[in-house]
A and B are shown apart, each in its own frame.
Chain A
C-alpha cells in the first residue's frame, strides 16, 4: 500500500521500456525517494562510470507518502552520479510532478543508456512512449512545457524538463518541473541532457491507496494542525526570512565569502519583497504551495516593468517564481548585488534555462574575485565589467551561461573547474566540487562539518545543526548533532514529505504518518535506522567512485581566514577538531571508511 509496487525502466540506447515489480525488500530497508533511489543506483551501475556517459543511471523516485493526503506530499528526488563532484547526486523537488508519477502507477523511474537523438518520455496512463524531441531541443523550460501540453492536447500533463543549460553541458543544470520547481542541485539536469532526454511528461489516473485510511486521515489531520502552529513565518515570508538573521549573526557569505555580513541585505530580504515602492510596485505577489502542502512557502513575484532587465522585454512582464533565501543569497550578498529586481530576473533565468542558482551565483562570485584581482579581464568576459555589486553583470552572465555563450561557457564549468583553469583553486568555495549554500561555516561550525562530509558535496539540506550552531560557535559538540541529523534527514528525504516540516515534526510524527500509510510497522527507531543505512550506502557509493577522506574538507578561506565581523568575529572553522569525532561516531575508520561492524549493523555487508 502506498508504494505502488512498480518501477518503470527505460533504456534510451535500445528504446526498450519495461515495467518491473518494486523490490519490496529494498523498499522496506530504504523507504523510497532518496533512499530507494540510492539502492537502485547502487545495484544498477558501476560507481566509477563517467557521469556524462551512457553507463550513468538517472533515477526519478517518489516516496511512500508522495501523492497521499499528508501535508507536503509532493516530493520526489532525482538520483544519479553527479557531474560536478563525481559523487552521488540526489536532488529533491516539490511541485506536482512527483505525485503525478505516483498516480501513473510508479514508485520509481530508472533511465539508463543514451538516446542517439533527442527524445522525451511520455506517460499517459498505461501508454508509455519515447517521442522525438528534435523540435524541443534548444527550447527553454517554459517553451518545452507549453509545447508538450499543446502537442498532446493535454493540459493536465505534469512535466519535468531540462533547459538549454542541460542540453549544452552546464555542470550544474537542473531538472525543472511545473515551470518553477526544481531538482536544482548537483547537475542532475546535466546528466539528463547527456542522455539526450529532454523531458518527462506524465499524466496518471490511478491515485494511491493507503494502508489504514481512517487512521491515516486522523493522523495527517493532527499533523497538519501541528504544522500550522510552527510554520506561519514560512507561509508569510518564505525562506528568505532568514536573510536578516544571517546578517545579524554574521554568517551571510558576502563577496565570495571574503566577508560574512552584507551592507545591502535589507534590499533583497523577505521584508524588501513585501515592501511597496514609490511607484506602487511590490515584488511579492502571492505565495504558492506544492502538491498537498499546507505551508505554501513558494514565492510568486514580478519585476518592475521599467527595470533595466525587462523594460524592453514584454515576455518577462509576468509573475513567476520569486526569491527564496538561497536565490537571494546567490544573486545578492555573495556577489555584492542589492538590486531585488535584478535578483528576481536572474531567478527567472535559472528556471527558464534550467540551472542551479546556488552553483551559478557562487561560481560568478569566484569569477568576480578573479576579475577584481586582475586574473581575468574584460577580454575574457565579453566586455562585461565583472565587479562585485554589478547587477548587469549578474543578469548578462545568467543568460550567457544558460545559453552557453561567450564567458558563460566558463561559468558553466562550475567554480572548481573555473578556478583551476585560472590557477586559483583556493578561490573555489566548494566541497567535492559543489558550491556552498548561504551559510558561512566560520559562524556555523556544525554546518561546516555537514558541508565537508556531505555525500553530494557542499549542501545545507542534508543535515540540521542550526540550533547547536546558534548556541555555540566552536567545534565542541557538533559531531553528534551533525551525524544524527544527517541520518534523520536521509529518512525524511526518503518519505515523500518535505524537510520544511522538520521544525514541527520529529521522528514520532513522521513514523505515525508512515505507519498509517504503508505496509509494515514503522517506528521512529526504524526510520532513523533506515536513515543511517541510507547515509552509509551513499558513502559507499562515493568510496567506490574513488572519493576519499581528503574530499571531506573545506576551502582554505574558511579554515584559515578568520571571520572579519559578526558574532563569530575572529573565528575559523574547526574542522580538524570535529572530523575525527564524527568518523568515530559513525563507526568509520580514521580514513572515513565504514568498518565491517558498522556495515553489518546496517545490513550493508
Chain B
C-alpha cells in the first residue's frame, strides 16, 4: 500500500519522500523506519490530521492513501 508523506522542519534533510510503500498492516513506527527517520528526531506524527502520540506509533495501523505528517520536535525561539 502507498501512504502519503510530508515532513516538517529540519527533517527535510533526512527525508524528501512524498510517499512510502508499505506492507498491509504496517504501523507508524514501520513507516518511520522505512523512511529512515530516527524516532528520537520526531516530535509528533499525525495521520489524516489526527495526532498519534508516541506510545501509539507501534499500534496505529496505516491504510492505503493515508496522509502522514512527520513533524520535527519544537524547540522554542
Interface: A108 (CB within 8 A)? no
B74 lies within 8 A of A466 (CB): yes
Best-surrounded residue of A248, A471, A499, A568 (most CB of chain B within 10 A) = A248
With A and B bound together, what is the CA distance between A233 and B14 in angstroms?
11
Interface: B76 (CB within 8 A)? yes
Interface: B9 (CB within 8 A)? yes
B54 lies within 8 A of A242 (CB): no
B77 lies within 8 A of A567 (CB): no
Given A233-B72, A236-B13, A237-B10, the answer on whether A249 and B44 have CB atoms closer than 8 Å is: yes
Interface residue ranges of B24-77 to A (CB < 8 Å): 43-44, 46, 49-51, 53-54, 69, 71-77
Interface: A232 (CB within 8 A)? yes
A567 lies within 8 A of B9 (CB): no
Interface residue ranges of A254-278 to B (CB < 8 Å): 270-271
Given A472-B53, A566-B49, A567-B50, the answer on whether A242 and B12 have CB atoms closer than 8 Å is: no
> CB-CB < 8 A to B18: which residues of A?
none
The contact of A242 among B6, B9, B53, by CB within 8 Å, is B9
Closest residue of B by beta carbon distance from A235: B10
With A and B bound together, what is the CA distance between A324 and B13 in angstroms?
20
Interface: A168 (CB within 8 A)? no
B77 lies within 8 A of A245 (CB): no
Given A248-B71, A249-B71, A567-B49, the answer on whether A461 and B76 have CB atoms closer than 8 Å is: yes
Total A-B residue contacts, Cβ distance less than 8 Å: 84
Contact with A along B2-18 (1 / 0, CB 8 A): 00001011101100000
Interface: A399 (CB within 8 A)? no
A500 lies within 8 A of B71 (CB): no
A245 lies within 8 A of B53 (CB): no
Contact with B along A206-247 (1 / 0, CB 8 A): 000000000000000000000000001110110101101111
> CB-CB < 8 A to B9: which residues of A?
233, 237, 241-242, 244-245, 270
B51 lies within 8 A of A245 (CB): no
Interface: A411 (CB within 8 A)? no
Closest residue of B by beta carbon distance from A438: B77
> CB-CB < 8 A to B43: which residues of A?
245, 466-467, 470
Closest residue of B by beta carbon distance from A567: B51
Closest residue of A by beta carbon distance from B44: A470
> CB-CB < 8 A to A567: which residues of B?
44, 46, 49-51
> CB-CB < 8 A to A471: which residues of B?
44, 53-54
> CB-CB < 8 A to A569: which residues of B?
49
Dominant SS among interface residues on chain B: mixed
Interface: A503 (CB within 8 A)? yes
The contact of A248 among B6, B53, B75, B76, by CB within 8 Å, is B6
Interface: A88 (CB within 8 A)? no
Closest residue of A by beta carbon distance from B46: A567
> Taking the nearest CB of chain A, how far is it from the CB of B73, in angstroms?
7
Closest residue of B by beta carbon distance from A324: B77
Best-surrounded residue of A232, A241, A568 (most CB of chain B within 10 A) = A241
Interface residues on A, range: 35 or more
B76 lies within 8 A of A245 (CB): no
A242 lies within 8 A of B49 (CB): no
Interface: A359 (CB within 8 A)? no
A500 lies within 8 A of B75 (CB): yes
With A and B bound together, what is the CA distance between A569 and B50 in angstroms?
9
Interface: A92 (CB within 8 A)? no
With A and B bound together, what is the CA distance between A503 and B8 in angstroms?
18
Closest residue of B by beta carbon distance from A467: B73
With A and B bound together, what is the CA distance between A460 and B77 in angstroms?
8
Contact with B along A17-54 (1 / 0, CB 8 A): 00000000000000000000000000000000000000
> Taking the nearest CB of chain A, how far is it from the CB of B74, in angstroms?
4
With A and B bound together, what is the CA distance between A247 and B6 in angstroms?
12
Interface residue ranges of A308-337 to B (CB < 8 Å): 324-326
B76 lies within 8 A of A499 (CB): yes
B13 lies within 8 A of A233 (CB): yes
Interface: A182 (CB within 8 A)? no
B72 lies within 8 A of A326 (CB): no
> CB-CB < 8 A to A247: which residues of B?
8
Closest residue of B by beta carbon distance from A473: B51
Interface residue ranges of A461-502 to B (CB < 8 Å): 461, 464, 466-467, 469-473, 499-500, 502
Interface residue ranges of A512-528 to B (CB < 8 Å): none
> Taking the nearest CB of chain A, how far is it from the CB of B41, in angstroms?
9
> CB-CB < 8 A to A469: which residues of B?
74
B50 lies within 8 A of A245 (CB): no
The contact of B77 among A239, A470, A473, by CB within 8 Å, is A239
> Taking the nearest CB of chain B, how far is it from the CB of A478, in angstroms?
14
> CB-CB < 8 A to B72: which residues of A?
233, 241-242, 245
> Taking the nearest CB of chain B, how far is it from the CB of A259, in angstroms?
15
With A and B bound together, what is the CA distance between A467 and B40 in angstroms?
11
Interface: A200 (CB within 8 A)? no
The contact of B8 among A232, A244, A326, by CB within 8 Å, is A244
B71 lies within 8 A of A503 (CB): no
> CB-CB < 8 A to B54: which residues of A?
471
With A and B bound together, what is the CA distance between A297 and B53 in angstroms?
29
Contact with B along A531-564 (1 / 0, CB 8 A): 0000000000000000000000000000000000
> CB-CB < 8 A to B6: which residues of A?
248
Contact with B along A282-311 (1 / 0, CB 8 A): 000000000000000100000000000000
* B contact set with A: CB distance below 8 Å: 6, 8-10, 12-13, 43-44, 46, 49-51, 53-54, 69, 71-77
4 closest A-B pairs by beta carbon, nearest first, are A233-B10, A239-B77, A466-B74, A567-B51
Q: A245-B43, A248-B71, A249-B74 are in contact. List 10 more A-B contacts (CB 8 A).
A: A233-B9, A242-B75, A244-B8, A244-B9, A324-B77, A325-B77, A467-B43, A470-B44, A471-B44, A500-B75
6 A-B residue contacts at CB 8 Å?
A236-B13, A239-B75, A245-B9, A245-B74, A466-B74, A503-B73
* A contact set with B: CB distance below 8 Å: 232-234, 236-237, 239, 241-242, 244-249, 270-271, 297, 324-326, 439, 460-461, 464, 466-467, 469-473, 499-500, 502-503, 566-569
